[in-house]
Amino acid sequence: MCDDRIPFLEVSKHDYRMLTCIADSDSAMFKFAGFTVSYESGVDQVPRFDASIEVFGDEKTVKVCIDTPFIKGLPTTMVVKEALSDGSHRESNIRRTYEDPFTLEFQEVYKWLTEDKAPKATPEDARKDRPKF
């Protein structure tokens, strides 16, 4: 368990290795209590980086888009698509900040060191996120 609300996916050592060394194109589906997760990965000769996490609901879809982790300064974008009560459709592109995630995290670490603030996640939290073999 990652915490009391979300059950941790039990995977075997073989499954974990398969997901961390995927070939040209693969996909997998994982069934959790109350929802299903689809994992897709692909590699081709087109020079691009495309990473996102998308959550589908009955009347709203939320997608977090990471442009690339390799170019400093690119912000993360959230795209919200929703069905409105009048039957119309709304799509919003949201950028909470124009700073990249690395800079934001670095600023948080600076606060931990200079203002004696505690991090949001502890090393114990990180240990719970790793599969145990």
Length of the chain: 133
At 60, the pLDDT band (50, 70, 90 cuts) reads very high
The pLDDT, as a whole number, for residue 23 is: 54
CB 128 within 8 A of CB 2: yes
- Please report where in the chains the tokens 């934001």 appear, as a residue: 104
Domain ranges of the chain: 1-43, 57-120
Token readout for 88 is 């119309």
CB 63 within 8 A of CB 76: no
- Please report where in the chains the tokens 């398969």 appear, as a residue: 18
pTM above 0.75, yes or no: no
Q: Is 73 exposed, middle or buried (0-12, 13-18, 19+ CB in 10 A)?
A: exposed
At 1, the pLDDT band (50, 70, 90 cuts) reads very low
- Going by C-alpha positions, the residue among 111, 97, 98 that lies closest to residue 120 is 111
The pLDDT, as a whole number, for residue 9 is: 56
| Local structure of 49: helix, strand or coil | coil
